[in-house]
Amino acid sequence: MDYLLAIESSCDETAAAVLDTQGRVLGETLLSQMDHLPYGGVVPEIAARAHLAHLPGLVDKALRRAGIEAAALGAVAASTGPGLIGGLIVGSSFGKGFALSLGVPFIAVNHIEAHALSPRLPGVSEREVAFPYLLMLVSGGHCQCVAVEGVGRYRRLGGTIDDAAGEAFDKAAKLLGLGWPGGPALERLAATGDARAVSLPRPLLGRPGCDFSFSGLKTAVAQIVARGDARAEDIAAGFQAAVADVLADRAGHALAMMRQTGSAPGLMVVAGGVAANAAVRAALRTLADAEGIGFSAPPQRLCTDNAVMVGWAALERLRLGEADGLATPARPRWPLDEMRPPAEMGA
């Protein structure tokens, strides 16, 4: 096998990428859907129809950018879960059909595993990313602390009990009149504010374990906005600081939990859309430095959903001898700790 085509369609990003066997990105395309803006969030039916309309053209463009013909592909991969079921069906069905037409293997990629393994993509991290490491997955749909012990070997240490971090960013931004998606807009507004000007809670800070809760923080923002006695930029800065403090605290507990079980991590990795936030990166990097371990975050373009990470996860599994049948179903829920290492597939 010389080349692999990867497809991502788990939410509102339609993406395709062509990688070689070493993980070098030869061609990449990505379309961020804007049809959801009037609704203040992703509408699943609209997302699925947009994937269906745009995916063939994006795949064709990725192949042209890579300078290869479809016949040169040795494998096809697609996000097959978790996510919005309509988009997953569109992307995985397209990928299966492509693989069937070429007579090449199909790899069903867990979208969260793609985030988890993305720091191992060549050129992404300043140092080699060896197992085990701590993954802080923070996005619009997920907020988890995961011990990454190998390909297919994951232990969920904690997660959110209500809103995900990215969801909380979007809701706070909406309260401040910033529209959707709210994360980038809130970060820009926070840059001009004073985080000390407003008092906001840090839910679960210092509590045992590494679960998260952001609903109380969102409610506190709503109450301050309703009072009308604080500047929007100060509220944004205070909210961002509170989230960063909570994530760093929970990450510290997760590191301790890994060490207690004899799985000493040499690295902390942050991935997912919220990993693009500079304040969150800084807080987690500071913690990693204090703990004496390395820190890695993908470049911003690889923090949000993309096909490059899907392709890399597929390559990691192909190297261990794994491929999937064309009957593999799309799964709206697919927790990492329900996966099995490639060596156990078929056991």
Residue 137 is labelled as binding a ligand: yes
Q: Is residue 214 within 8 Å of 240, Cβ to Cβ? A: no
- Whose tokens are 């500079």? That residue is 278
Residue 183 annotated as binding?
yes
Q: What is the pLDDT of residue 38?
A: 54
Q: Which string of b and e fits 188-215 if b means at least 16 CB within 10 Å?
A: ebbeebebeebebeebbeeeeebbbbbe
Residue 316 burial (CB < 10 Å; 0-12/13-18/19+)?
Answer: buried
Q: H or E stretch including 55?
A: helix 44-66
Distance CA 120, CA 79 (A): 18
| pLDDT-flagged residues of the chain (< 70) | 34-41, 343-347
Read off the pLDDT of residues 203-253 as tens digits, 9 standing for 90 and up: 999 999 999 999 999 999 999 999 999 999 999 999 999 999 999 999 999
Q: Of 3.40.50.170, 3.40.47.10, 3.40.50.1980, 3.30.420.40, which CATH number belongs to 131-297?
A: 3.30.420.40
Does residue 35 have a known ligand-binding role? no
Is 141 annotated in some ligand binding site? yes
Position 347 scores a pLDDT of 39
The CA-based dihedral angle spanning residues 218, 291, 130, 4, taken in that order and rounded to the nearest 10 degrees: 30
pLDDT for 343: 57
All CATH 3.30.420.40 domain ranges of the chain, comma separated, are: 3-116+303-344, 131-297
> What are the φ/ψ torsions at residue 107 (nearest 5 degrees)?
-120, 120
pLDDT of residue 273: 86
First to last CA, the chain: 26
* Residue 111 marked ligand-binding: yes
Residue 86 annotated as binding site: no
* 3-116+303-344 CATH, one of 3.50.50.60, 3.30.420.40, 3.40.50.1110, 3.20.10.10: 3.30.420.40
Q: Is this model's pTM higher than 0.75 or not?
A: yes
CB 5, CB 96: distance < 8 Å: no
Q: What is the pLDDT of residue 304?
A: 85
pLDDT tens digits, 310-341: 999 999 999 999 999 999 999 999 988 777 77
Tokens of 279: 């304040």
The answer to whether 167 is annotated as binding is no
